[in-house]
Amino acid sequence: MFQKVQTEKIYMKIVKQIEDLILNGKLKPGMKLPPENELAESFGASRPTVREAICALEILGYIESKKGKGNFIKDFTDNSTRDILINKLQVECGAYEIFETRLILEPESMHLVVENINGDDYKVLEDCLYHMEKGMETEDYELFSKYDVLFHITLGQATHNNILTEVIKSINSKREETIVWKTLKMKCLKDPNKIKSYLDEHAKILDAIKEGDAKKAKAVMRKHILDMNKDLFGVRLKTKNAK
């Protein structure tokens, strides 16, 4: 008789509006969507929310993103997986929520890492950097992504605080499980300049930890997460600590 109450994500409301316009023929194949900043104003939403919606529409097969040109409506015919994908998008955590949580937790955890890290932790972190570099050199973006996530999970373990370890592991694991985040990230990794920058930032984080400089490690980690936010969502968070 009763149905479960489900809170709908804002970006999914945008997805459904645009989907309806496509299915009703008001948005036709080949038509270009307005720029993200215009869509954000029209929907009364933030640009990251619009970026998530655009990515979800691309995953659903409704639009095609052309680098440097914009987002275009595709000739949509196959909707066999639509309901499955919609349900997954609805229940998984929001990609921007992952960023927000990481920004709160990971930089602040650096002082515990510097205090408690041991030789085994260092070995895993060095191994992660090695495989990330291999992933970059061979254009194996899945390999790079896998060891990027493991690097951050290992830093959580290096706090040797059981609660932080589990929370940081959980939020970083969701980066691989959340299809909007993963799709946006893979686009970034295919940019040679961006992937090199990400590798360098990870190396700088590890160098700061080796130096025993918790303040520097925190600053580098914060910059890394903010840079990822800019690349994934098209905005740079403005805070008094952001540089």
Give residue-wise pLDDT tens across range 166-205: 999 999 998 888 888 899 999 999 999 999 999 999 999 9
Residue 73 DSSP SS3: strand
Residue 240 lies in a domain: no
Residue 104 DSSP SS3: helix
What does the mean pLDDT of the chain come to? Answer: 88
Based on the fold, state whether residues 121 and 36 are members of the same structural domain.
no
Question: Which tops the pLDDT comparison, 147 or 240?
Answer: 147
CATH number at residue 178: 1.20.120.530
| pLDDT score at 242 | 41
Q: Mean pLDDT throughout 125-152? A: 98
Domain that holds residue 125: 94-233
| pLDDT score at 140 | 98
Q: Mean pLDDT throughout 75-95? A: 68
Q: What is the pLDDT of residues 155-167, one digit of tens each?
A: 999 999 999 999 9
Q: Mean pLDDT throughout 90-94? A: 70
66 has a pLDDT exceeding 80: yes
Residue 203, φ and ψ in degrees, nearest 5? -65, -40
| pLDDT score at 176 | 86
Q: CB–CB of 220/107 below 8 Å? A: no
Q: Which of these three, 70, 90, 110, is where a domain ends?
A: 90
Based on the fold, state whether residues 200 and 105 are members of the same structural domain.
yes
Based on the fold, state whether residues 78 and 98 are members of the same structural domain.
no
Which two three-digit tokens encode residue 147? 């060891």
Which two three-digit tokens encode residue 137? 């050199």
Residue 2 lies in a domain: no
| pLDDT score at 2 | 47
CATH number at residue 35: 1.10.10.10
| pLDDT score at 204 | 98
Residue 3 lies in a domain: no
Q: Mean pLDDT throughout 8-36? A: 88
Based on the fold, state whether residues 59 and 121 are members of the same structural domain.
no
User: Which amino acid, 88?
Assistant: K
| pLDDT score at 77 | 64
C-alpha distance from residue 209 to each of 118, 125, 216 (Å): 11, 11, 8
240 has a pLDDT exceeding 60: no
